[in-house]
Amino acid sequence: MDPKINEINGYLVSIFNDVLMIEERTLQTSQFKDVSIKEMHTIDAIGMYQEHTTSEVAKKLGITVGTLTVSVNNLVRKGYVNRVRSEKDRRVVKLALTKQGRLLYRLHDKFHRDMVRETLTEMSEEEAEVLMKGLLNLHSFLERTKEQLPE
Amino acid sequence: MDPKINEINGYLVSIFNDVLMIEERTLQTSQFKDVSIKEMHTIDAIGMYQEHTTSEVAKKLGITVGTLTVSVNNLVRKGYVNRVRSEKDRRVVKLALTKQGRLLYRLHDKFHRDMVRETLTEMSEEEAEVLMKGLLNLHSFLERTKEQLPE
DNA sequence: CGATATTGTTTGATTATCAAACTATTTGAC
DNA sequence: GTCAAATAGTTTGATAATCAAACAATATCG
């Protein structure tokens, strides 16, 4: 069983690094040169469809609210994000993507989908099913681990 | 097919984030509080078994040599890495882990193996096989993509 | 030998990050 | 209703991560 563990582990690590690297490089050679990969993930976390508060987005990204404030400052300056004070509760800031931001969001989303689609092309329905089950297993293990984390 | 793509994509993104977060948190609550997740990956890339040059490690990590030099300065100061000038070619610097560095390397490696082992526990041989095939597919797609990358 | 190439370091600028101090607003106790 | 406490976000100071470009040391090749 151990060689299998090593092999799977190796693929995972390699996949992580490659995805990050490819995303970064793709951004830098696109019309969105002024967006870093971290900023891209912030844009992704803000999302297309609902408005999210600063706290919500920070939690989703696993960073502090202060860090997000700084990053959003840059994204607002660059024209990807809008800040809207909530009318209901004037302490709350809602974050939303600008037109530019939504364009970038869709591009990034497409990259992810293409990546997965390509992976599935040579697999049968059943194999795809099993891959999904494996990822689900891994995912739930990680969620459990997270809960047990000290603090 | 599209809902499957979304689901797999979602798992992948979530797995990426969780692994990073758990690694970070685990480090910060261990005896190795002075090591960041990035530094951990540098230690991983330097590796246990052979000596690697600065250029080799930088390439493996996908960062510039300058960035690595700075990071290695810190890791040397903290006692995890040794720099050795090559005798054969005096321009070349070989990087190697100290005893501390090797200890940390093994701990990190164990985390990864446990993660994968746990994922496989509830799967049959065939399912594990298919998961591996899926990851291999994804991996080779990414390697191909990397090659086609502009510059 | 001297020009060119290679390997790594240094530097200056920008981004990412946190913790802690701070501001503005809301909520809740009296 | 007012004031203390709680909440949401911003600012600030410090440090790490990153790149590109200038630089230094060494090797190679004509």
pLDDT of residue B2: 66
pLDDT of residue B89: 93
| Interval B55-105: pLDDT, tens | 999 999 889 999 999 999 999 999 999 999 999 999 999 999 999 999 999
Cβ atoms A25, B149 nearer than 8 A:
yes
Cβ atoms A25, B63 nearer than 8 A:
no
| Interval B9-52: pLDDT, tens | 888 888 888 888 888 888 888 888 889 989 999 999 999 988 89
**Shortest Cα distance, chain B CAs vs residue A147, angstroms:** 10
Are the beta carbons of B135 and A25 separated by less than 8 Å?
Answer: no
What H or E segment, with its residue span, contains residue A19? helix A2-28
What DSSP character marks residue B89? Answer: -
pLDDT at residue A150 tops 80 = no
Domain A37-120 has CATH 1.10.10.10: yes
Distance CA B69, CA B75 (A): 10
Query: CB-CB: which of B1, B19, B139 is closest to A11?
Result: B139
Are the beta carbons of A11 and B115 separated by less than 8 Å?
Answer: no
Domain B2-148 class in CATH: mainly alpha
Instruction: Pick A43 or B16 by higher pLDDT.
Output: A43
| Interval A88-139: pLDDT, tens | 999 999 999 999 999 999 999 888 888 888 878 877 888 888 888 888 888 8
Distance CA B1, CA A83 (A): 36
Both ends of chain B: CA-CA distance in Å? 33
Q: Which tokens belong to B81?
A: 């890495």
Q: Which tokens belong to B46?
A: 């330097």
- Strand, coil or helix: A63: coil
- Strand, coil or helix: B32: coil
Q: Strand C: which bases are under 7 Å from protein Cβ?
A: 6-12, 15-21, 24-27
Query: CB-CB: which of B4, B26, B136 is closest to A11?
Result: B136
Instruction: Pick A98 or B116 by higher pLDDT.
Output: A98
Dihedral sign, CA of B107, B112, B113, B117? positive
